[in-house]
Chain A
Amino acid sequence: MTENVIEVDGLRKSFGDFEAVKGVEFTIQKGEIFGFLGPNGAGKTTTINMLCTMMKPTAGTGRICCHDIQSEKSTVRECIGIIFQENTLDEKLTAEENLMLHCKFYRVPKSERNGRIEEVLRMVDLYEKRKDVVERYSGGMKRRLEIARGLLHYPKVLFLDEPTVGLDPQTRTHIWDYILELKNREGITIFLTTHYMDEAEYSDRIAIMDHGKIIALDTPDNLKKMIGGDVIEVITEDNGKAIEEISQRYGNDVKAKGDSLAFSVKNGSEFLTGFVKQMIVPIKNISVHRPTLNDVFLNLTGREIRDEITNGTKKPKFGHRRF
């Protein structure tokens, strides 16, 4: 039997005249990894802030583990663990002290505290370093400690906001191993935001948000099927003219993707040979690949997921409006 852990209905949030979230609804089942993607300013952060009880919705309801996010704030907070994108550890304290404080804030029974601290520290391989001041930790170790801390009160839902941003690939893989193990072992529901495509692939379902609305919600495979067939990526001498030529001749919707153009066709390899011969605008480079989530994202929002990071315009997340 499936059990809804998160239920959101008609959730809205306005800041003055600006409507940041224009009525979203979705349900998340127990044990699911729910990917929450969208360009900056899409309303993701606002939605998460409302779910985490950090912000009051203008309208609509949200329930986490059957508790209302407005009227039962305190109970909701006990049910959720949040791993923020930025560091929220006290770096002057040791790992153990940070965890002990968390136990006290979350009313973990006294007799269980030491056991749980050891358990989570061992899980992220930091038990040996528990007496070290966090200041001396590397970026990856800090992240692991934050994840450990987020699990200390045995949350039913874990909010992961860009859990591996700024970490090296090896550490990222390592952290994902922990997250997946947790999901399998404890059945924790995970609410994930990320700008890494490979991370989004871990999701059971993905919601893509843009302009305050959820514009797609499905499994990664189904989302990719929406593209239909294969994706052709081409770099030409004159992209402007090429767009015109392609849409006239093949009637395809062409999207600019950095220096190159991307569009989808039924059968990529077959299409390619004819295409190369027919094109009048000289082609510099061409490739064909199966659709990725990035193609889905580009198709739906007109932007690439990674644009967000490379353009360096990322805003602080989680409640920055209120601090």
Chain B
Amino acid sequence: MEAIFAVWQRDIIKFFRDRARLFGSFAMPLMFLLIFGVGMNGALSSMFSTSGMDQFTGFNYVSFIFPGIIAMTVFSTSIFSALSVVTDREEGYMKEILVSPVSRTYVAIGKIFGSATVAVIQGLLMLAFVPLIGVEVELMNIIKLIPAMLLVAFTLSSIGLLVASTLKTATGFQAVIQVLIFPMLFLSGAFFPLNGMPGWMNALVKVNPMTYAVDMFKHIMLDVGSMNEVLKQAMGLNLKLLGHSVSTLEEITFIACIGALFVMLATVFFNRSG
């Protein structure tokens, strides 16, 4: 069992040692937040104010997008962390692990834990932007956010490991992950409210596990209770599946089930690949 901890610990040590990665990981979300968030916020506010609908006065695109940005960070960090499995294989370290008496299942679980932990740390670091962008987040909500992030990170880390176990090269891994990650991100409600979409797109959104993750993050971070119905609708906070409003508990269950499934698949495939 200590082997799980050892594999995990190695990832954590390396994460904190790699300053470039630490700071680099801020770049992408920061760009989205600044360019998308601030830019769109002005455009949308001016649109709503000229339309004269005062229900929208509470609309703030930055606060809409911020939970989505955190979700994106957790999501992409955890899925991309599995790259280390591929590079370990390329650089040879994987052999040191594989010829040791450690069970491969433990190695896989250690890797998933490692990626998930790093992703949660990255997600929390995003909160450093809070004072800069004029969004308010209560401490209680941050505490609630941590297990939610962990759950999402766990699921995505196993998806990453599954992909890494089936591919041989780092470039191949990156290519596949890119193809996976972008539709999952953009069809998740992280960047725009999921309203009035054509049927096929709506179907894609509903099968995307990220949709439920983003919605869960929004409900934790935004003060949904104080919003009027029109505003809620505009912010895309009425997630419905086949006409049924999805509750946070259902979202958690759904992500956990998907997570459990992928942890199993990833472990099986990792066992085979070694």
List A residues at the B interface (Cβ < 8 Å).
52-54, 74-75, 77-78, 80, 82, 84, 86-93, 97, 101-102, 104-107, 149, 318-319, 322-323
Contact in complex: A93, B98 (CB < 8 Å): no
Contact in complex: A105, B101 (CB < 8 Å): yes
Is B94 at the interface (CB under 8 A from chain A)?
A: yes
Q: Contacts A88-B93, A90-B93, A93-B10: A74 and B98 contacting too (C-beta < 8 A)?
A: no
Tell me, in angstroms, the Cα distance from A305 to B10 when the chains sit together: 40
Contact in complex: A104, B5 (CB < 8 Å): yes
> In the assembled complex, how far is the CB of residue A211 from the closest CB belonging to chain B, in whole angstroms?
27
List B contacts of A104 (CB < 8 A): 2-3, 5-6
Q: Mark B86-127, 1 if CB is under 8 A from A, else 0.
A: 000101111111111111000000000000000000000000
Contact in complex: A53, B2 (CB < 8 Å): no
List A contacts of B3 (CB < 8 A): 104-105
Q: Contacts A92-B14, A101-B10: A77 and B274 contacting too (C-beta < 8 A)?
A: no
Known A-B contacts: A93-B10, A101-B6. Give 4 more (CB < 8 A).
Answer: A54-B98, A80-B99, A86-B92, A92-B18
List B residues at the A interface (Cβ < 8 Å).
2-3, 5-6, 9-10, 13-14, 17-18, 89, 91-103, 168, 274
Contact in complex: B94, A323 (CB < 8 Å): yes
Tell me, in angstroms, the Cα distance from A54 to B98 when the chains sit together: 8
Contact in complex: B13, A105 (CB < 8 Å): no
Nearest to A80 among chain B residues (CB) is B99
Contact in complex: A319, B95 (CB < 8 Å): yes
> In the assembled complex, how far is the CB of residue A254 from the closest CB belonging to chain B, in whole angstroms?
43
Contact in complex: B168, A323 (CB < 8 Å): yes
The residue that B92 contacts in the complex, of A52, A54, A88, with Cβ under 8 A, is A88
Q: Contacts A84-B92, A86-B92: A74 and B101 contacting too (C-beta < 8 A)?
A: yes
> In the assembled complex, how far is the CB of residue B100 from the closest CB belonging to chain A, in whole angstroms?
4
The residue that B96 contacts in the complex, of A88, A107, A322, with Cβ under 8 A, is A88
List A contacts of B99 (CB < 8 A): 52-54, 77, 80, 82
Contact in complex: B102, A105 (CB < 8 Å): yes
Tell me, in angstroms, the Cα distance from A80 to B96 when the chains sit together: 12
Q: Which of A318, A322, A323 has the most B CB atoms < 10 Å from its CB? A: A323
Q: Contacts A104-B5, A107-B2: A88 and B95 contacting too (C-beta < 8 A)?
A: yes
Tell me, in angstroms, the Cα distance from A52 to B98 when the chains sit together: 10
Total inter-chain residue pairs, C-beta < 8 Å: 65
Can you give 5 contacting A-B residue pairs, CB < 8 Å? A88-B93, A105-B6, A105-B100, A106-B100, A323-B94
Tell me, in angstroms, the Cα distance from A305 to B204 when the chains sit together: 61
Tell me, in angstroms, the Cα distance from A105 to B5 when the chains sit together: 10
> In the assembled complex, how far is the CB of residue A67 from the closest CB belonging to chain B, in whole angstroms?
11
> In the assembled complex, how far is the CB of residue A62 from the closest CB belonging to chain B, in whole angstroms?
15
Tell me, in angstroms, the Cα distance from A75 to B101 when the chains sit together: 7
Nearest to A53 among chain B residues (CB) is B99
Q: Contacts A97-B13, A105-B3: A89 and B93 contacting too (C-beta < 8 A)?
A: yes
Contact in complex: A87, B92 (CB < 8 Å): yes
> In the assembled complex, how far is the CB of residue A156 from the closest CB belonging to chain B, in whole angstroms?
14
> In the assembled complex, how far is the CB of residue B114 from the closest CB belonging to chain A, in whole angstroms?
13
Tell me, in angstroms, the Cα distance from A139 to B94 when the chains sit together: 20
Tell me, in angstroms, the Cα distance from A80 to B98 when the chains sit together: 13
Tell me, in angstroms, the Cα distance from A149 to B96 when the chains sit together: 10
Tell me, in angstroms, the Cα distance from A99 to B89 when the chains sit together: 19
List B contacts of A318 (CB < 8 A): 95
List B contacts of A52 (CB < 8 A): 99
Nearest to A90 among chain B residues (CB) is B93
Contact in complex: A90, B10 (CB < 8 Å): yes
> In the assembled complex, how far is the CB of residue A268 from the closest CB belonging to chain B, in whole angstroms?
46
Contact in complex: B274, A93 (CB < 8 Å): no
Nearest to B10 among chain A residues (CB) is A101
Tell me, in angstroms, the Cα distance from A102 to B99 when the chains sit together: 11
For the complex of A and B, 4 pairs with smallest distance between CB atoms: A104-B6, A105-B100, A88-B92, A77-B101
List A contacts of B94 (CB < 8 A): 323
Q: Contacts A90-B10, A104-B5: A84 and B18 contacting too (C-beta < 8 A)?
A: no
Tell me, in angstroms, the Cα distance from A309 to B105 when the chains sit together: 38
Q: Contacts A84-B95, A90-B93, A104-B5: A322 and B274 contacting too (C-beta < 8 A)?
A: yes
List A contacts of B18 (CB < 8 A): 92
Tell me, in angstroms, the Cα distance from A319 to B94 when the chains sit together: 11
Tell me, in angstroms, the Cα distance from A105 to B13 when the chains sit together: 17
Nearest to A101 among chain B residues (CB) is B6
> In the assembled complex, how far is the CB of residue B85 from the closest CB belonging to chain A, in whole angstroms?
11
Tell me, in angstroms, the Cα distance from A58 to B89 when the chains sit together: 25
> In the assembled complex, how far is the CB of residue B83 from the closest CB belonging to chain A, in whole angstroms?
14
Q: Contacts A92-B14, A323-B168: A106 and B101 contacting too (C-beta < 8 A)?
A: yes
List B contacts of A84 (CB < 8 A): 92, 95
List A contacts of B274 (CB < 8 A): 322
> In the assembled complex, how far is the CB of residue B130 from the closest CB belonging to chain A, in whole angstroms?
32
> In the assembled complex, how far is the CB of residue B118 from the closest CB belonging to chain A, in whole angstroms?
14
Tell me, in angstroms, the Cα distance from A107 to B256 when the chains sit together: 32
